Structures are given as C-alpha cells and as structure tokens.
Amino acid sequence: MHEFAIARSLVEVAESTARERGASRVVALHCRIGVVRQVDAGSLREAFEMAREGTIAADAALNVTQVGMELDCQQCGKHVELSSWGFACPACGSTDIRLHGGDALELTSVEMEVCDDDRDYKAAHSSEERASCGDESFAA
Ligand SMILES: [Zn+2]
C-alpha cells in the first residue's frame, strides 16, 4: 500500500499545518508527484479518501500534479522532458543518458478555512500554506 502511506503523510502534514494556523477545516490539498514515484493517481485518491476520515481534512479535495523527468542525452546532446519513465533517448535511441527530476513528492499547498472567531463562521477566510511532505523534498 505505497499510495496509502503517501496519502497518510499528506493528511498528516495538512493536519499539522491546519493546527498551526488555527484552521477550522482543510478545503484542499495540492501536491506534486514525480513519475519516478510510480504513484497511481486513482489509487492515491482512493487512499486519500480513507486517510482523511475523521481528520480536519475529512472533506478536503486532493489535487495531484504529475511531474515529468528530464533527460540529457550524452550521445546527441538532446535535452528532453519525459512524461513517463524512460531509459533511452527518444531522439537517437542511445541509453547513454542522464536523468534528473521526476522524483518529487511534495505537498505544495493546503487550502483551509481559518476562523478568527469561533462563534462567527462567516468570518472564515481561506489561507494557503506551503509545506513539504515528510522529509522528502523535490530535487531540482
Ligand atoms: Zn540522443
């Protein structure tokens, strides 16, 4: 359950961010996941629906942005962005390549409602915070 572990850590980071900000509820989570992580967006969404239960993010939406990887061909010098996992240069077919990026696993923002006054929920406003997911960060 690779996706469930990711979903749970996303919810945990969202919860602690919401707690820090005194938010009453989390509206949405935005994250970036690299193709190298081989995360299935559908499975992640299902896992997220389980992980968010009973938390401050119980009805939060999950927005996933898939991040591609970059390839530098040592043979023909081509620099391309790949949308999926690749082991050869798409231009010349050489396997003498360098790959970078594509390993992002990052919660880029959390949308939440912050109440200034508990008795007046109409005063709620949205706040966006940047937070990184666990100890994994995006390697540029
Ligand atoms: Zn090439």
pLDDT in tens, 51-72: 999 999 999 999 999 888 899 9
Residue 132 has pLDDT above 80, yes or no: no
Task: State yes or no: pLDDT of 74 exceeds 80.
Answer: yes
Ligand 1 centre to CA of 88 (Å) is 8
- Residue 101 Cα to ligand 1 midpoint, Å, equals 18
Q: How confident is the model at residue 117 (pLDDT cuts 50, 70, 90)?
A: low
Amino acid at 56: I
Mean pLDDT of 70-93: 90
Identify which of 29-33, 100-104, 114-118 has the greatest average pLDDT: 29-33
The DSSP bridge pattern shows strands 23-34 and 61-67 to be: parallel
Name the E strands within 11-92.
Answer: 23-34, 61-67, 69-73, 79-82
Mean pLDDT over residues 116-126, rounded? 44
Is 80 exceeded by the pLDDT of residue 34? yes
> How far away, in angstroms, is 98 Cα from ligand 1 center?
11
Q: Which two tokens stand for residue 9?
A: 């850590």
Spatial separation of the C-alpha atoms in residues 86 and 73, rounded to whole Å: 12
